[in-house]
Each structure stands twice: as structure tokens, then as C-alpha cells.
Structure 1
């Protein structure tokens, strides 16, 4: 199996939609070239996300797991169960990143998990330090810190110019979720 010669760290951040979508686009491209991709979704416990069904079609080269409870987390009001779930996801990420089985590991919404105080940023920075040289890590979420941005090789910010929510259009199945 072909491995990446050099794995980098990427961040998709910003206040507009497209962060997870960009990571999933990269997944499709990578699987098309024979790479193995594992996606961990933090703070996502719903089962109606379209990517959960769509990515099953890319198995076994691509797999996905969720680490989040249904419902919302409010900043400064995280429940212990939400924190434990995020920490469980972080431990799973470490297993996957260091296993040698996966070329790309996507930590979807991990930046939000940091911002909502579910996991300490220091633990994520430690994880980045443990990354083998051939593993690519993609992190998504709003409010990426300057420390995370400094550690990354590629940072893309999704900036809102116009959004259908401003017109009262709600999230649409197959488009936003």
C-alpha cells in the first residue's frame, strides 16, 4: 500500500459553512488514490448526517466514528458527559494516528471541542507532536487559536459573504447535513 511521503497538518476554520465539506472532498480524492482515511467527528451525535451513509460506500478505505451526544453544548456550560465523550474521541484519534494503518485522519469539529472547553488544547497539541511523519491530519471547526494555526502547514478560513440562513432558509437535507 502506498503511503504519503510527508504528512502535514491542515486546518479548515471560520464562521461559514464548508469546513466539514472540504475535509470530505479531500477524503474522496484520497480514497480515489488508494489512501486510507479515518474520520472522527467530535460534538456530532446525530445519525441523520448524509456523510454517515455516503461514506459507507467508501469502506473499507474510509471509516467514520462519532464522538458526541445528541443536542447542543453551550460555551461555559459543558456537561461532564460531553467532556468525557470528547476525551474518548481524542484517545481514539491517538490510537488511529499512531497505528500505521491510516494515511489521513480527519478530526472533524475538534477545534469546536477545544473552544467549547470539552478538551484542553494542550492535549491536541500533544497529539500533533505524536503524529508519524507519513500521516496527514485535518482539523475542522470555528475559532482556531493562533497556537493551532502556527502548528498547521495549511490553514483555510471559510468567511461568510452571504448565507441562505440570512433569507430565513433552514438547513437542508443533503446540502447542510
Structure 2
């Protein structure tokens, strides 16, 4: 048996095993998805999922808890080209060290959460992204028990994506999919500022 034949035989075995595994999978459900960790790409990944929903004609919504003051590429794209499919609610006023007003930050986070609850409760919306909600939870601007309760009682086919560092253990417990982004190397550490098209 030559190398090409050995490779073909090996791939045939792998395919047969994958086919058996896929036969065991059935049904669909709305997922609770968390993107957390210190690495870059948490929000970017969530917006990639929104674009997949757009491609499938699935109504989606975004609530930004921190970056509301930023003019981001995602916001421009979604509100300019896909407003019929994607609601975009920028509720934050910037990072806490920018506002320097705890009461104002808490009020903004709670207003964002009220909007998020109404979007999650609407079964016609198939995906809701709660961008940087983990930051609001980390500072106890929101009650994690209430967030868990809403996620546990969402419409059955609604996906909810939560982003931000330091996801609370209670959220990780109820999530269906958790990805932790790690930092290997980042240009910020080399003195390079955030850039359009990469960070925002």
C-alpha cells in the first residue's frame, strides 16, 4: 500500500467515525454562549455570529454595555446595511475610568439590561449579543442572579452571546458554550494604539 492509499484508508476510517457521531446528534436549541478571557477577539467573534445570522435572514440584536460612545466598524456596518435584520443599541458611555462616575455607569448598565431583557424575551429575535456585559457584572452594576434567571427562561430558540473578561462562574455554569480567549501577543504592549479595522 503506497502513501496515497494509506492516507485514503485513514481518512475513510475518520469519516466513518464522524458519521456515526453525527447520527447521535439531533434537535436544535437556542444556546447561551460566552466569550471571555483576557485575549482579543471576544466581541469580534460575537459580531461574526451576528453576520452569520444576517446571512440566514435571522433577526438579531446587539446591546453594547460599555462601548456605546465608540464609533465602531461593526456598528456602522450593521446599522447602515442590515438595519432591517439587526437592532443595535449602544447603551454604554465608555469604560469606567473614562466616565469616573459610578452612579452614571450603574444607570447606563441597568438601562442596557432593561433593553436586553425585552430583546431576549422576543421570540422573533434569534440572536441577542450582550457586548461587554461581563464588565458590568464584574463591577456589580448588575445582579448576576437576575441575568442567570433571564437566560434560564429565554425563548427556546433564542441564542444569547455574552462577551467580556472575567465571566462570572454562575454564568459559565448555565452556558452551553464557553470560549476563553488567551493573550499570546498583542501590539498594545509594544506601544501600538488601537486601530480601526482591528480593534474597532
Equivalent residue number for residue 169 of structure 1: 192
Q: Note if 1:10 corresponds to 2:62.
A: no
Structure 2 residue runs of 5 or longer lacking an equivalent are 1-26
1:39 to 62, 72, 83: 62
State the Cα RMSD in Å. 1.6
Q: Which has the higher contact order (CA 8 A, sep 6+)?
A: 1
Q: Which runs of 5+ in 1 are unaligned?
A: none
Is structure 2 residue 139 aligned with structure 1 residue 116?
yes
In structure 2, C-alpha distance between the alignment counterparts of 1:134 and 1:176, rounded to whole Å: 31
The CA distance in 1 between the partners of 2:191 and 2:164, in whole Å, is 23
Secondary structure at 2:36 match in 1: strand
Aligned CA distance change for structure 1 residues 78 and 144 (closer, same or farther; 3 Å): farther
Q: Name the TM-score, length of structure 1 as normaliser.
A: 0.91
For 2:184 and 2:28, locate their aligned partners in 1 and report how far apart those are by CA, in whole Å.
37
Instruction: Tell me if 1:62 matches 2:86.
Output: yes
1:84 matched residue in structure 2 = 107
- Greater strand share, structure number: 1
- What per-residue deviation string (whole Å, max 9, x for no partner) do you get for residues 44-86 of structure 1? 221421111111212211121011124x315xx7611111111
1:50 aligns to 2:50 (yes or no): no
Other-structure match for 2:9: none
Task: Give the structure-2-normalised TM-score.
Answer: 0.81
Task: Give the distance between the partners of 1:39 and 1:172, measured in 2 at CA.
Answer: 22
Q: Matches of 1:136 and 1:11 in 2, distance apart?
A: 11
Between the two proteins, the alignment pairs up a number of residues equal to 171
1:78–1:118 contact (8 Å) kept in structure 2: no
Q: Report which of the two has the higher share of helix.
A: 2
Which portions of structure 1, spanning 4 or more consecutive aligned residues, are displaced by more than 2 angstroms? Answer: none
